[in-house]
Chain A
Amino acid sequence: GQQVMQIPQYQHVQEGEDFTTYCNSSTTLSNIQWYKQRPGGHPVFLIQLVKSGEVKKQKRLTFQFGEAKKNSSLHITATQTTDVGTYFCAGSARQLTFGSGTQLTVLP
């Protein structure tokens, strides 16, 4: 079945440093979605990418979808303590399959 791998599993950064998480699928995706889950909270939808090579920005967050539509990345510039949480990618072929997430810790 479809598998979505996400790395790294954990990332600790100093406040102000950049952060990137990567997502790879075993199959070509129709779209990729990103979610954020704050500690003790529930996943919250951030964005969806559909087109090959697509890049979208939300303030300090930059999302990319690979040319082959099998990989994606989320980059956060100049992290803040409010960025703490787990970031999940979710790849969509026939169904949505979630990656295992990257847990981001931001040290003040």
Chain B
Amino acid sequence: DAGITQSPRHKVTETGTPVTLRCHQTENHRYMYWYRQDPGHGLRLIHYSYGVKDTDKGEVSDGYSVSRSKTEDFLLTLESATSSQTSVYFCAISEWDTTYEQYFGPGTRLTVT
């Protein structure tokens, strides 16, 4: 498995609170991604990064922001969590551009009550 860790692995939070999820890689890959996985929807891209401080939106970016201040770290922030953001969040990395194979972290299960 690629060297990708996510923290926390599980989190329960209340509606309206801010939440930050962290993804850390040791592969020095340029591209990093945040996905959410919900039953029946597969994996949906939230945001991705193509370098330090370079990020772009995916198909379900509303309510989420990201930051990447170092090659190895990619943060996903829910400014004010809502119940619709209850999901499993996966970080992924790829060495080249967004069309190349991706390697996934173990995931974070987030529950918003």
| Distance to closest chain A CB from B3 (angstroms) | 13
Chain A, residues 4-37, CB within 8 Å of chain B (1/0): the string is 0010010000000000000000000011010000
Compute the total of residue contacts between A and B using a CB distance below 8 Å. Answer: 49
B42 touches A98 (CB 8 A): yes
Q: Which 10 A-B pairs have the closest CB atoms?
A: A92-B99, A100-B42, A98-B43, A42-B104, A98-B42, A45-B101, A95-B98, A43-B104, A101-B42, A42-B107
B residues at A contact (CB < 8 Å): 35, 40-45, 58-59, 90, 92, 98-99, 101-107
Please tell me if A1 contacts chain B, counting CB pairs below 8 Å.
yes
A residues at B contact (CB < 8 Å): 1, 6, 9, 30-31, 33, 41-45, 48, 88, 90, 92-101
Give the CA-CA distance A6 to B104 in the complex, in Å.
21
B contact patch SS: loop
B-chain residues with CB within 8 Å of residue A1 when the two chains form the complex: 59
B101 touches A48 (CB 8 A): yes
A33 touches B42 (CB 8 A): no
A-chain residues with CB within 8 Å of residue B42 when the two chains form the complex: 6, 88, 98-101
